[in-house]
């Protein structure tokens, strides 16, 4: 099966060695894709060395800045060719910027603006940037990293995050509807409790209360992304694929 062989993929939020974004980059590269990766800090070049020099590209970019978004797409395409696959993984937090949890009633305008910018607006900008080329070539795979938080459930103190992640599903449906005739699909992945280097002890404990009995791994999210990014996933679009070990099926979480 062709899968993602000889396709160019751009994956954001790939700076952490033990994060979801870099796991996706590794899996797609191993499957034969050319891979462009980015994060806000120079640690992205450590990830590039881990991937190796063949069919890879890395640069730093602050995706809350429109000029950085444009530069990222231009440089990635110059290095690896037109972008066939976009995986908007960056979000939740940005290195060097602290974000306090807050109820909606206590949220500031600044917190709202930043939360939507980092989780939603940057996705809009990158998706908009790659769509014209995909339309012209009549092919594209766009994957938005949403969450179960927002589209399906809520967490106290995460109103802004949940709002942005729910909005990604609406954006995906619109992109799917508008661009289906051009051979472009757009889907969301909704991770549950995934064990990464930034997971708290409470999050790991919550993962152990899923039906699967453990948190998920970044590689399990990566293989879902690989499936949606493949040529063979051509009839799946506008969907939210939940990868949560069955956690959202439970009304009563284990004690």
Residues marked as catalytic: 161
Q: Measure CA 74 to chain center.
A: 20
Q: How far apart are CA 14 and CA 9, in angstroms?
A: 12
Structure tokens that stand for 156 in this block? 């106290």
What is the Cα–Cα distance from 214 to 195, expressed in whole angstroms? 9
> Count of CB atoms within 10 A of residue 6's CB?
12
Give CA–CA dist 240/165, Å, rounded: 11
C-alpha radius of gyration, the chain, whole number: 17
- Identify which of 130, 65, 56, 117 has the alpha carbon closest to the alpha carbon of residue 91: 117
Instruction: Give the neighbor-by-neighbor strand order of the sheet with 56-60.
Output: 56-60, 34-39, 8-11, 85-88, 140-145, 184-191, 240-243
Q: How far apart are CA 10 and CA 84, in angstroms?
A: 8
């Amino acid at each position: 099966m062709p899968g993602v062989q000889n396709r160019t993929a751009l994956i954001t939020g790939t700076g952490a060695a033990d994060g979801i974004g870099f796991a996706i980059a590794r899996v797609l590269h191993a499957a034969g894709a050319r891979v462009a990766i980015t994060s806000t800090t120079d640690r992205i070049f450590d990830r590039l060395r881990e991937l190796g020099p063949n069919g890879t590209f890395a640069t730093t970019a602050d995706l809350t800045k429109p000029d950085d978004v444009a530069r990222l797409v231009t440089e990635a395409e110059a290095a690896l060719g037109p972008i066939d696959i976009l995986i908007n993984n960056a979000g939740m937090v940005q290195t060097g910027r602290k974000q306090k949890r807050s109820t909606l009633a206590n949220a500031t305008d600044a917190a709202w603006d930043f939360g939507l910018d980092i989780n939603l607006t940057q996705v809009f900008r990158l998706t908009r940037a790659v769509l014209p080329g995909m339309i012209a070539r009549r092919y594209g795979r766009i994957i938005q990293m949403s969450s179960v938080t927002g589209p399906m459930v809520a967490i106290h103190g995460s109103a802004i995050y949940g709002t942005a992640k729910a909005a990604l599903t609406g954006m995906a449906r619109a992109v799917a509807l508008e661009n289906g005739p051009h051979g472009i699909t757009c889907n969301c992945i909704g991770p549950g409790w995934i064990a990464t280097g930034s997971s708290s002890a409470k999050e790991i404990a919550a993962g152990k209360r899923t039906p699967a009995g453990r948190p998920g791994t970044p590689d399990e999210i990566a293989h879902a992304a690989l499936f949606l990014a493949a040529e063979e996933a051509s009839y799946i679009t506008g969907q939210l694929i939940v990868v949560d070990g069955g956690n959202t099926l439970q009304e009563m979480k284990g004690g």
